[in-house]
Structure 1
Amino acid sequence: MIPISIRAALIVVTLCSTARLASAQAVISEFLADNRSGLTDSDGDESDWIEIRNDSGAVLNLNGWSLTDLPDDLSRWVFPSITVPAGGYLVVFASGKDRRAPASELHTNFGLNNNGEYLALVDPLGVIISEYTFPAQREDIAYGESGNIQELVAVPEGASCRWRVPTGAISGWQARLFNDSLWSAGATGLGYDTGDDYDTFISTNVQTSMFNRNGSGYVRIPFDLDDASAVNGMRLNVRYDDGFVAYINGVQAAASSNVDFPVQWNSRANTQNPDADALNPEPFDAAAAIPSLVDGENVLAIQFLNATLGSSDLLLMPELVVTFPDPAADGVGGFLLTPTPGSENDNAVAGFVEETGFSVIRGFYSSAQSVTLATPTGDANIRYTTDGSVPSETTGTLYTGPVSVPTTTILRTIAYKEGFESSKIGTQTYLFPTEVKGQSDMDSTITTRAPYAATIEDDLSNNLPILSLVVDDDDFFGPSGIYENPNLSGRGAEVPLSIEFFNPSNPTDQFQVDAGVRIHGGNARSHPKKPLRLYFRGEYCETRLEHPLFDGSPVESFDQLILRGGGHDSWSL
């Protein structure tokens, strides 16, 4: 067996106990010490930055206050006369450019060390008000106070509702106390489809009432809140075709960009929302309607719009998520996965669980294997699956001992720990050529015919470099999957996957990376074996694939790759 390969030890978090003093008028609430693709300054540079929050309860003038990264030089960079409103924020770039003009962008005369260092906010009397001794930082991940936020799905997909396709204006239909008892009962999603793209999402079919009759429909969805005053954020996630306007207790909360105002009872969307985009929930900030919330029953009312009266399809599937402070949170800060300069922080994590190590690496095998899993993060648990599905902190088998791999298997893992960011998904594909030879997609007239039958297993396992793509079956082959709907295009037609490459003739020539995949080509989209285009993006893993794939080529860095299906080769001369 090949020894387990384990990455560097766990990042240790050191958040100084005096990071925020009880009597503080202002605090360093967040900072980013490795800014690669986030907030830019007026020069267009992605400078590091420090966020100051005013907790004094009144307007605060920072004149004479200072920021420093040296504990023996507390007045290293002194603020000019600049005010911060009560509860407000001020962002200062830690760029080394030393700019102090009150009416323009502020820049310290020092930068932040992403390997970890000291940082403090000091008042005019030289008293340290807020300080950190922070550990090594990660690219585009901030550090600071935890927002201690909980999320509640107030309106889930498939929620009970009342709906109607209006035949004239209905006054006050968006209001919380409007009487909708005579409206039709149903469940979200609402819509229809003369094809089958939306079949898995439609619970209430409105085609008879809406097709060639009206471009708009109304839906009202009740939801309950125990403490409306605690809500500090709302997000509406919507699958929609073609447009919508959403109200909460009569207050407009969100709308798609293809709606013309003022909206009438028979309005239509001014452009179509492509099917590929409609299938994916789009998030909308609904915080504007927070003041309208009440304890007890509230109502999410939505006008859904089609672009044409005779449109072949329609879809509305909303989900409403509310956020509020977690009273049980301990208030300790740490890493902030989504930087929020100038606004309230999200929840922090204490550190990062390191990836799972596998005692047996991906490749071809002729006998059963026993795979040991491990992570260097102390007190972390591991869960795994053997069917290619993605494990989570609550799904998959809890690892307690070596995993038996007697046959072709895709082994996927996650390591997790309370209060830490879970590891990325580990993926190892183990192939048994005897089984591959017998798969239904293999041509038996070749695999059973001399002279190929005697050598095909060896040919498979010893000669060909392998690219293994692991993708959710529904995303790829399901009714709404991209392989079953090859004409879908754009980002909405891109699904995540794991890519593994290994070369049987050179065990060190291998990699695994997460990426995105779309169907590629024109006419070839209709072929049984379709070409694929792979996309390497930061949202999946790395922004580029760095690996020498082509012998003799100087190109070893890729942002995209095309996997040709070879369907046109039979027509080549």
Structure 2
Amino acid sequence: MLFEDDFIELFNPQTSPVDLTGLYLTDNPITQPDKYSLGMLSFIAGKGFAVFRADNSNQPGHVDFRLSADNEMIGLFDAGLSQIDKVIYGPQTTDVSYGRVPDGTENFQFMELPTPGVTNPLIGPAEEILTTIVPEDMDKRVLVPTEDIGEEWITKIHFDDSAWELCTDAPGGVGFERTSGYQDYLSIDLQQQMYATNAACYIRIPFTLGADEIASLGGLILKVRYDDGFVAYLNGVEVTRRNFEGAPAWDSHASSSHSDSAARVFEEIDISEFIGHLKRADNVLAVQGMNTSRTSSDMLISVELDGVVTMTANDFPYVNAIALLNGLRVTELMYHATDGSEFDYIELQNVGETAVNLTGVRLSEGINFTFGQMLLEAGQYVVVVSDLAGFQSGYGTGIRVAGEYSGNLSNGGERIVLSLPSPLDAAILRFEYSDAWYPATDGDGSSLAINDPLVQPAALSQSENWHPGTPSPGGM
């Protein structure tokens, strides 16, 4: 329920990146140590994690075997098939993971809240963890300039870059490769625009932050893969540069080269002194990437921005996350209101015995919404609506509304996912509803209401656990 697939997490206890090329994961260490190759040009950052879904797939980020719920032996082997690590586990419980606490030690324990890609919760001294603010594959706009366009692309957060090329999806890198080496890192190919024309390109990555997110940060780490140089800016302020001196021009080139092998590995740069330049709501990370010459055979710029958060046993989100898993439930859906989608809503209730902090809780797939700062006491309701004005005109103003979601609740039914706040990825709920369940809920005035809010989350996709009812958002 928390995750759609089982997973295996690797942790790098060193401060330097580790190359996974040539390593193997296996569920049969005795007779098949080379069962699954981790692939070429894959790395784990220092003190970082790599997560592989065990879903019998040979795609990147997956392994081509599944894990047994009864007992299993998992091995990690090097290119020479020498064992690096081995874990033997016994019978497992659904949605409970088994891992090392603290990370990298020989102390194993069961964890009610699995934390793939995030440090395993430690009860004890304070620890620093990294939370991703700008992922490497975040949407970005890219331009290879043909003339001087000034500096507003750097200094203005809301600069109009709509005419620039849009770069989306993983892996997220910008550049080109005329032979081989960077092709697995690139989401956009700039060879036609750059080669023999300009050694420089401009990149803009917009992102948003809440006040609470900014307040929680104790540091900033900019991770960069680069060939050959760059200058990086946060909201118009230069934060770091490599292999370039002086004031950059639209056609500048790097002052020295950065080898292909080094360029493929994230260089982690501490830019914590610039935290004060982060803004509530909209921000922009701008980068000018540069080759050593216009006829360089390849080029790569790929960035990630991470925040450093210090957590102790008291402020690690584990306790609240467990309360959310046990207590937060979807209790009513108005997915096809008779008078239009502006009257649609989704209702949630805290069915637990303690208050829960909803800050950062996410609704996704059918609709998208992230809760702002909000505390929901035991037994209380809150709704997320399609249109606030329409909702209040139809149901009144005395109902607690968290905000408006984007997208629409499908009239025909769809999947709804309610997830824990980042950096935790577990789903609180994952279910599907259908208009075929009850015709009265399909545009005939009724909402879809839960029979028993304490029903197991895995049963929410079954029609018998719901009924058509008079709309009553917020428990009215």
- TM-score by length of structure 2 reads 0.37
Computing the radius of gyration over CA atoms, which structure comes out larger, 1 or 2? Answer: 1
- Decide which structure has greater helix share: 2
